[in-house]
Structure 1
């Protein structure tokens, strides 16, 4: 992770201001990170020079949002929402928060199945990428 001048730690670095929502957690798997990393690389497209560890593209969302999964050798990980999450039918789905939770649950389940890992989310935090990429 990158340490910012205010002492906070963030997952991403970018050329300019890049706010995102991080759902932080750990990969709860007895395998070494090297083994887990190979499975993630086989299942998802890696993004280079964006994160302090590994970053994987999980897909674009309607209205311009993107989901990423980041992980590092300590098995710390995060599901990141860049941009906006919009659900025009949120009222029918119980509201925008419930709709977003269903999306996260679905994408995380797909990732865990594809990479044969278990992820335990522990915190939600708004972050801003380290500037100066």
Structure 2
């Protein structure tokens, strides 16, 4: 399965265990999805896509877009899909930052390939 990874870091002096407990209260933890912690942040039912926030003890993190991001029922122009994706990602990062009480910085966008399917249930 191909997916888009937006990677960066969690900027805070707090211990990861404190951040993790806040994330666990706010989001569903998805065991086995990442080498460390993965949280289901948003399911885009119209698009058959999901945004997963992954975080590690060293405070590196990534927001993963799994599936296909599709705009349905909206008037489309050349940049509409990309603009909407940027808006959705920005809103998710803002929400995660607020709920976890940290600043999240994204530095890298790259496509990746997973070795198997991801079970969001």
Distance in 1 (alpha carbons) for counterparts of 2:89 and 2:18: 24
Sort the Cα spacing of 1:36 and 1:99 in 2 relative to 1 into closer, same or farther, 3 A.
Answer: same
Question: Does 1:124 find its partner at 2:117?
Answer: no
Distance in 2 (alpha carbons) for counterparts of 1:125 and 1:28: 21
1:45 to 19, 24, 28: 28
Give the TM-score of the pair, scaled to structure 2. Answer: 0.87
Question: Does 1:112 find its partner at 2:97?
Answer: yes
> Number of paired residues?
116
The runs of at least 4 consecutive aligned structure 1 residues that moved more than 4 Å come to none
Listed as ranges, the matches of 1:65-104 within 5 Å are 65-88=49-72, 89=74, 91=76, 94-104=79-89
Question: Does 1:36 find its partner at 2:19?
Answer: yes
Sort the Cα spacing of 1:54 and 1:121 in 2 relative to 1 into closer, same or farther, 3 A.
Answer: same
Give the TM-score of the pair, scaled to structure 1. Answer: 0.80
The CA deviation at 1:75 is 0.5
Distance in 2 (alpha carbons) for counterparts of 1:82 and 1:118: 23
